[in-house]
């Protein structure tokens, strides 16, 4: 298992390098000139050229990339073109909000998907199964911004149960922190719950048709014990793949929800950086996000090895 972990970590290194090179390449060829945006509409050609020289934009592509990646390797993600703040500091300030939102959304998704998927598979073809699949389809189809707006209208403005917008950090109190995350987490976690429910239901149906399940039923083992103790572990293996994808989707798709609920997260920071053509900020956000997603994929691979003995044998 240890060698498997080391191999997976080593694989992450070239992948992260490819991400760095790709994002730098794409931003290099983006139309427009950050120096013009920084200088303003009334700037002279000499002022624009001085800004380009100061930012190193006149250097060849590979020179710019080497200078940037050399700083990244020592933890320096650069400086924002507009706020003159360290990119690492700006991301570090916003990242906890997005991580909290992603974690809360995943809790919502699993709290819905696990019981719904288990019961839908156990009662295949029943009314509950049809209703669960109907809501799973709606969860995938409904846009996040529409659902978020609806939740604000009902639970914040009409019933006044939760704040409509804004974020309360844990330092303001645990209750206020949780309340500020409830509506955004439901909004963001609904689609993840729908996908996970469908995947878990399908894998559970396949697992319940195996011989060992029939044997357990024939000797009088209760259905609840079969579902939770015997079938769920095997059925969760393909579902974990979907859950890993959903974590990446939640983290990457949080920008819209953060805008709707006015949350100061990394998604909102990314949108502002793109609008302002703040390339160092965009590059830093992409790198940090990619690192988090690669870490999630590593955890998923380790869960495979823990759940499936065949994977453990293959890693030794």
* Residues 49 and 102 occupy one common structural domain: no
Enumerate the H helices of 29-60 as residue ranges. Answer: 34-39, 45-55
* Residues 126 and 30 occupy one common structural domain: no
Computed from CA positions of residues 218, 222, 226, 230, in that sequence, does the dihedral angle turn out positive or negative? negative
Tokens of 145: 């911004």
Residue whose pair of structure tokens reads 């809360």 in the numeric block: 104
CATH number of the domain that residue 207 is part of: 1.10.3720.10
* Residues 134 and 44 occupy one common structural domain: no
* Residues 117 and 37 occupy one common structural domain: no
Residue whose pair of structure tokens reads 């950090």 in the numeric block: 169
Rounded to two decimals, the pTM is: 0.87
Contact 148, 183 (CB under 8 A): yes
What's the pLDDT tens digit per position in 5-34? Answer: 778 788 888 999 999 999 999 888 877 777
* Residues 55 and 195 occupy one common structural domain: no
* Residues 10 and 113 occupy one common structural domain: no
* Residue-number span of the structural domain to which 157 is assigned: 95-276
What's the pLDDT tens digit per position in 66-124? Answer: 999 999 988 899 899 888 889 999 999 999 999 999 999 999 999 999 999 999 998 99
Is 39 contained in some domain? yes
Contact 287, 8 (CB under 8 A): no
* Residues 232 and 181 occupy one common structural domain: yes
Is 237 contained in some domain? yes
Instruction: State how many domains the chain has.
Output: 2
User: Cβ contacts of residue 247 below 8 Å, gap of 6+?
Assistant: 102, 106, 293, 296
Is 50 contained in some domain? yes
Is 228 contained in some domain? yes
Computed from CA positions of residues 133, 134, 139, 140, in that sequence, does the dihedral angle turn out positive or negative? positive
Contact 216, 150 (CB under 8 A): no
What is the pLDDT tens value at each position of the chain, 316 positions in all? 667 777 878 888 899 999 999 999 988 887 777 787 777 777 788 888 888 888 888 889 899 999 999 999 888 998 998 888 899 999 999 999 999 999 999 999 999 999 999 999 989 989 999 999 999 999 989 999 999 999 999 999 999 999 999 999 999 999 999 999 999 999 999 999 999 999 999 999 988 888 888 888 888 888 888 888 878 877 887 778 888 888 888 887 788 899 999 999 999 899 889 888 888 999 999 999 999 888 888 888 788 777 766 655 555 5
């Amino acid at each position: 298992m240890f060698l498997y972990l080391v191999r997976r970590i080593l694989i992450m290194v070239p992948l992260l390098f490819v991400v760095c090179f790709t994002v730098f390449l794409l931003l290099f060829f983006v139309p427009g000139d950050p120096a013009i945006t920084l200088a303003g509409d009334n700037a002279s050609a000499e002022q624009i050229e001085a800004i380009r020289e100061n930012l190193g934009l006149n250097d060849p592509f590979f020179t710019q990339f080497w200078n940037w990646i050399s700083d990244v390797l020592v933890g320096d993600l650069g400086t924002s073109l507009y706020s003159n703040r360290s990119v690492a500091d700006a991301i570090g300030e916003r990242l906890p909000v997005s991580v909290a939102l992603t974690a809360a959304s995943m809790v919502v998704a699993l709290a819905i998907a696990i019981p719904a998927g288990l019961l839908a598979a156990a009662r295949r073809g029943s009314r509950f199964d049809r209703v669960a699949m109907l809501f799973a389809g709606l969860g995938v189809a409904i846009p996040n911004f529409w659902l978020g707006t609806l939740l604000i209208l009902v639970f914040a403005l009409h019933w006044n149960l939760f704040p409509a917008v804004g974020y309360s950090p844990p330092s303001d109190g645990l209750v206020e922190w949780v309340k500020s995350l409830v509506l955004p987490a439901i909004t963001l976690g609904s689609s993840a719950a729908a996908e996970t429910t469908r995947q878990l239901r399908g894998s559970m149906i396949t697992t319940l048709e195996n011989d060992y399940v029939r044997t357990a039923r024939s000797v009088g083992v209760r259905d609840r014990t079969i579902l939770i103790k015997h079938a769920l572990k095997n059925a969760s293996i393909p579902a974990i793949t979907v859950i890993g994808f959903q974590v990446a989707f939640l983290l990457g798709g949080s920008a819209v929800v953060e805008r709707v609920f006015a949350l100061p997260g990394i998604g909102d920071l990314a949108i502002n950086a793109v609008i302002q053509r703040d390339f160092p900020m965009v590059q830093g956000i992409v790198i940090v996000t990619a690192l988090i997603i690669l870490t999630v994929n590593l955890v998923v691979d380790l869960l495979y090895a823990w759940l499936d003995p065949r994977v453990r044998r293959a890693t030794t």
